Every structure is written in structure tokens, then in C-alpha cells.
Structure 1
Amino acid sequence: MSTQPSPTMRFILIGILVLMAGVTGMMTFNWYRSLYGGKPYGDAFTLVDQKGAPITQAAFRGQPSVVFFGFTHCPEVCPTTLFELAGWLKTLGDDGKNLHAYFVSVDPERDTPEVMNTYVSNFSDRITGITGDPDKVHAMAKSFGIYWKKVDTGDGDYTMDHTASVLLLDGKGEFAGTIAYGEGAETAIAKLKRLAAKG
């Protein structure tokens, strides 16, 4: 007797998994919204951009923002996300001209403004790198609900585990959703288009 699930059962199981993923995403969105709905997301901060100029939470006000936390030594998630983000912004064209995009380092010890400038410039001039004093960077990341952890690689070096989702903020700096790592381009672009349309 075969122990393999029938095609119908396989279809049902896949449907349940897709439904669970959707419910989890909605629960996460509602949790963020319950915490930050109606008020600016994250605490006040003073850091520096990739040119070494001061940057504060005011950068996330006045226009919709796309914010991603990562690090320049990241082997896969960060370059993939930044490459995709650059492509999404290009695809949107004028529909996304009011979107501001930011890449915040969770590894400021290595990610100096100069390093960030070189790295981010490889992807798009639409994305601004943010770094600064480690304590201030980590406080800012924590206030945005970002997970990060330094992981020893055993060879005298280290890598960083971190949240892989892209945060979406509206023009008031309020939480407006996320784009998950690996989310389809069509869905991601639709989210960014809606965000841009809200102004």
C-alpha cells in the first residue's frame, strides 16, 4: 500500500500551508500596526548617511520610505534584497518617484560611511546608506523591532543574523507594512505602488 499522499491531498496540504503563511503575515502586520498605528515608527535617532552627513528620524517623514536593515559583508540576503529593491524602484518609474529608500547597517563597526557608500552605490543612487555609532545604531534598530545578532564564524571573523524583511513607512513615518524576503516581484511592486500613491 502506497504511503504517498494523493494529488488531491497534496493540493489540500499546499493550500493549508499557503493559508497559514498568509495568516502569519497578516498577524505580523496587525501586531506592528497595534504597536505603532497612528504614531511614527521607531524612536528618535541621530546617525550618519553614507556621505558622513547627519541623518535623523526626520528623513522618514514627509514622504513614504522603504527601510531595510542589513550589513555589507552579508553573503546573500542583503545583496539580493538591495538588487531587487533597485529593480522595483526602476520598474515603478515616475509612480515611485516620491519613495525614499534606506539601507541601515546592523554592523556599524565595519560599515563606515565610506564602506557603505561604496557598497550601496553598486546597487542604486536611489538608496541611502545609514550607519553611525554602534550603540546608537543598535538602539535605533531595536526601536524598529529589528532582530540582529553577531555570530562567530570560528575563524576569527563573524557574520550577522538579522531581520530580512523590508519595512514600509508612510509619509508620516508610520508603519505601513513589510515586504518579506523572497516575496514575488509583482507583489512587492504592487505594495510599493500603493505606498507611493498614499504620499
Structure 2
Amino acid sequence: MPILRWIRYTAWTALAVVVFVAAAILLGWWRVDGPGAPGRPVQTAGAPIDVGGPFSLVDHTGRRVTDADFRGKPMLVFFGFTHCPEVCPTTLLDLTNQLKALGPEAERLQVLFITVDPERDTPAQLALYLQSFDPRIVGLSGTVEEVEAAVKAYKAYARKIPTEDSYTMDHTASVYVMDAAGRFRTLIDYHEEAQAAQAKIRLVLK
């Protein structure tokens, strides 16, 4: 390949990579649980991004709560559903282990599990499901409209996928790491190494 053609090819390849990464940040950054094609979250550290915002939901004890009720503590926010076959129980177990690893510092952290399947995930169903994980994890549900508003606020993804006898949900599989003021800091990827995830959590506990 002539040198000028090689340089031109390399430049266009680099430009394509930049465009792809930018598109992933704006449109992707999720991995889904279900028959949809999986993607990979884009992680961001430090720079403020318009992720997160007001919500009004019902926790797994039946209490109406808003985002303001969780201010003052860093938050780990995960979107999922109780009929999830793999991603949700795996992630909630990982978060349980992270809380245990933090020791007393875990009391300074709030973990939220927001359902993307409010039709089936009532507060009572969430309470039953969360018995298998750390009791400090708070489950949140609400009306379809309220849940959709929370998903939209976090730039998350959720979509109902019909199956032969019912349906499943495609959804964002990363954990949002928010600081005590409710500002987005970074993402914990699905199956990210525990040590790397712990470092991201400690980032907002400083």
C-alpha cells in the first residue's frame, strides 16, 4: 500500500473510532439482559454529566419516596426486575459483597434497586426478592409512568420483550455511581472486577 494511501486509511480509521465512541456515549452505554444484542457501558469519571434527577417512587416497604429522601449519601443505582434470569441477581449479589467489603463505611452509602417491570414488581414482590441480598438495599417501584420517568432521568434503557408465555425485559445492566449531591460520577460495568468496582465506590465516599 503506498504511504499516502496508508496515512489516509489510518486517519479515516481513527476518525471512525472517535465517531463510534461519541455515539456510544450519547446513545448506548448499556448492556441488556434478554434477547436484544448486548452493548458495553461507557464509563466516565469526574466530569459532571446530566444523568439522574427527580423521581417519585414507592419503596419495598410501601413508603412513597423521592430522590430528595436519599440526598446526603452517595448512591449506587441499579435498574432491573425480579424475574431477571441472570444479570439482576448477579449484580445484587455483587453489591451485597461490596457492602460487606466496605465494613462500617457501607453505612454512608445508599443502594437503590429500581424495577423496570412495575406491572409485576409490586413493593411486596420487591420485599420478598430482596430478602436474598443485603437488607440495606432499597427496592423501588411505582406506576408505569413513574418508573419510565426514573429510567429517562438516568438515561437508562428498558424495553419489554414478549416471550411465548409472558414477557421479559431488556434493560441497562450497569450500576450508576452517584455522589452525595445526586450527581453522576461513573458506572460499574456488569461483571467488572470487584477491586475496580470497589475503587469506584470509594471515589464517592471520600
Q: For this structure pair, what is the TM-score category when the shorter chain's length is used for normalisation?
A: 0.7 to 0.9
1:94 Cα deviation (Å)?
1.6
TM-score (norm: length of structure 2): 0.77
Deviation at 1:31, TM superposition (A): 10
Aligned alpha-carbon RMSD (Å) = 2.4
Q: Does 1:193 align with 2:165?
A: no
Give the letter aligned to residue 102 of structure 2.
L
Of 167, 176, 193, 2:176 maps to 167
Amino acid paired to 1:193: R
TM (normalized to structure 1)? 0.79
Q: What does residue 32 of structure 2 align with?
A: none
Matches of 1:32 and 1:147, distance apart in 2: 23
Matched, 1:100 2:87: no
The size of the alignment, in residue pairs, is 171
After superposition, the Cα gap between the structure-2 partners of 1:88 and 1:136, relative to the gap in structure 1 and judged at 3 Å, is: same
State the partner residue of 2:131.
121
Alignment of 1:1-199 (within 5 A): 28-30=42-44, 33=47, 35-36=49-50, 41-155=51-165, 157-197=166-206
Higher helix share: 1
Contact 1:60–1:169 (Cα < 8 Å) also in 2: no
**Identity of counterpart residues, as a percentage?**
44
- Give the Cα separation in 2 of the matches to 1:30 and 1:86: 23
Unaligned runs of 5+ in 1: 1-19
1:80, CA displacement in angstroms? 0.1
Distance 2:85 2:122 in 1: 18
Q: Distance in 1 between matches of 2:193 and 2:81?
A: 23
Give CA deviations for 1:149-198 in whole Å, capped at 9, x if unaligned.
0001122x00000000000110100001110001001111111122212x
Contact 1:48/1:132, CA 8 A, preserved across alignment: yes
2:6 alignment partner in structure 1: none
